[in-house]
Structure 1
Amino acid sequence: MSPQGRIGRPPKVNREQVVAAAADILANDGPLKFSMRTLAARLDISAMGIYHYFDSKNDLLGAVLEHQSWNTPIPDLPDDPRERLIALPLAVIEHLERHPWVIDVLSADEIIDAYSAWSFDEFLQTTDELGIPEEDSLQLLLGLWRIVIGEVTVRTNTAMRDSRPNSSPWYTREIPQHVLDRPRLLRTLTQLDPSLDGYDIRKTLVAYLSGQLGEKFTG
């Protein structure tokens, strides 16, 4: 019989070692090569050994997020508060693009890392400076957060696609019949620039803020 208060053998690794190993895989091998099975193999334990400490993959990623030290520099922000509202989400996009694995846990649990927390706080201070009501400030922030997540997701997926040999966007290959049957859509698709240079996220942010606040933001 096991000693009182202890059932079975002690775990081979502790929680901190699991988090550190996960952070190392994500930083050096990238999110595509990260899985609970890969992590278990790195630690020479079973996957159940990881679930002894974490309820799910997102739970583990949340712990890695807290553990990871971010080295993204804080940018100089514009003095004009309206320009600042545009600069802040652009800074978060650049930050998260360096750590694409973070998107899964941020969007799943709506938690934020330290850099994003800095940006959110600056954003809310700026809306206070402009006299925007609290409820409107929250709606602006949540809307921009979803735009940020979408932009980083597209950039990350595009980078992964471009890293594969002979890859290209679907609309440059064989176009399906359900698109060919829609001439207006087809005309636009044939004019698309396959690179990210064909899209300006700043224009989207300007249009969003101008529409929500009823003010003209500079493009």
Structure 2
Amino acid sequence: MKVGIQLKQIKMESVRRNSLSQQVLDNIVSLLINGDLKPGDKLESELTLMKQFDVSRPVLREALSSLETMDIITRKPREGTFINNKVGADPFQAMLAISINNIPAIIEARMALETGLITLAAEKITELQLEKLKETIHGIQENKDRDYGGYDKEFHRIIAFCANNPIVEGMISSLLLTHEKTNRLILFREPEITIEHHQAIYEALEKRDPIESFNQMYKHLTYVRDKILSGYEKQH
């Protein structure tokens, strides 16, 4: 494991003042893609990174926070910041990190993947997986007045993995990591609608009907997209 890799040795250019946080993030991901940073590597201290990128502490921390949300890095108190070991096995995760602040693009990618995957799930879903889906719906019902985001995320994760396709599993896993980021953009909750949509998706899957499953998932994700983008546009 390389410790405290010197980014200056890789001729890292100082970041311009425009979209600083995103540029810092892009540069770190580029180092990962090029192999200059590898899983398990420890980054330099915040002070050193601030000097190398020529940015302020808040800008650097915003970039690191985005990388942490994407599960690219882990920040350990009193130890430092490390590149996660599993990043190397999931290059899509690193690529997605570049666009983590492009909320509309992330939502569109999620819609494209999930609407396709659910048609396969309708053919392959097991009784046990159907039961687990039902449990997440009950979890939302029992937590309508609290944060039910975990149950919502689990509902979509189960469906994605029902497709039993290792090529796309890494993609959907990475996209679901952005759930927390997009979840914060929702300005108001409508648990009854979420329950209604999830129940309709569940019933379509239970009937093993790929067309109805697609239609219900598309209806649900369109609703989610509109809510998230409404919050996003008010903040930008």
TM-score by length of 2: 0.27
Whichever of the two has the greater Rg, that structure is 1
Which has the larger helix fraction? 2
Pick 1 or 2: higher relative contact order, CA cutoff 8 A, min separation 6.
Answer: 2
